[in-house]
Amino acid sequence: MRRAQQGVVLFVSLIILVAMTLAGIALMRSVDTNVLIAGNLAFRQANTMYADTGVEAARAWLTANTASLNNNQPGGALHYWANYQLGVNFLGTAPVAGDNYNWAQAATVAAPDPAYTIAYVIHRLCGGTGAPSDASAKCMQASAGGGAGSSGLGTKGVVTYGVQALPGISTIYYRVTVRVSGPRNTLSYVQAILN
């Protein structure tokens, strides 16, 4: 009886050892995958953080060039468009290649980390070129305040002095699209509306 049972423990222990080895390998692969995912999320968050640099550079350019914003100025190191260019695909996935935006010609900003590349393009939210006051430009704009009489009625949501509404200021909107590419082929797009 004892001789018939010899070797059974060895066989069972080998099966348990193989199962434990497979569990250990699976655990190591799971940890490696989790570390890889966490690293990719960190790179994506850094991309989004660096996109603020592009938005601020576009804001500074708009502030410095207020006299020349009525016409398209594409080319060179910066792209500024006085209209919103319907149909342009910033992701580069359009079925017609001509509809994809060429990011190689966009304005670039030096990133704090040289592993990242920041590029931006500015579109004035108008249907056409020309002065915003021109009806053919079809600009999206908002007026802040104004329009109420001296009776004090109808001043909700506007700036007032006493009972008199102050005249409103008309603002033009600009769409800034920022593309940030970083390590491990991370790519982020951020859009901001400025006025």
| pLDDT at position 146 | 46
| pLDDT at position 19 | 93
| pLDDT at position 75 | 56
pTM, entire model: 0.67
The model's pLDDT over 59-85, given as tens digits with 9 standing for 90+, comes to 998 888 887 788 877 655 557 888 888
CA distance readout (Å), 15 to 9, 12, 154: 10, 5, 84
- Domain ranges (residues) in the chain: 2-125+173-194
| pLDDT at position 90 | 84
Beta strands of 2-161 (E only): which ranges?
Answer: 80-81, 107-109, 117-124, 141-144, 160-161
| pLDDT at position 78 | 58
| pLDDT at position 150 | 44
Residues 64, 69, 74, 75: what is their CA dihedral angle, to the nearest 10 degrees? -30
Residue 33 corresponds to which amino acid? T
Token representation of residue 77: 């190191």
Q: Which residues of the chain have pLDDT under 70?
A: 1-6, 74-78, 97-98, 141-170
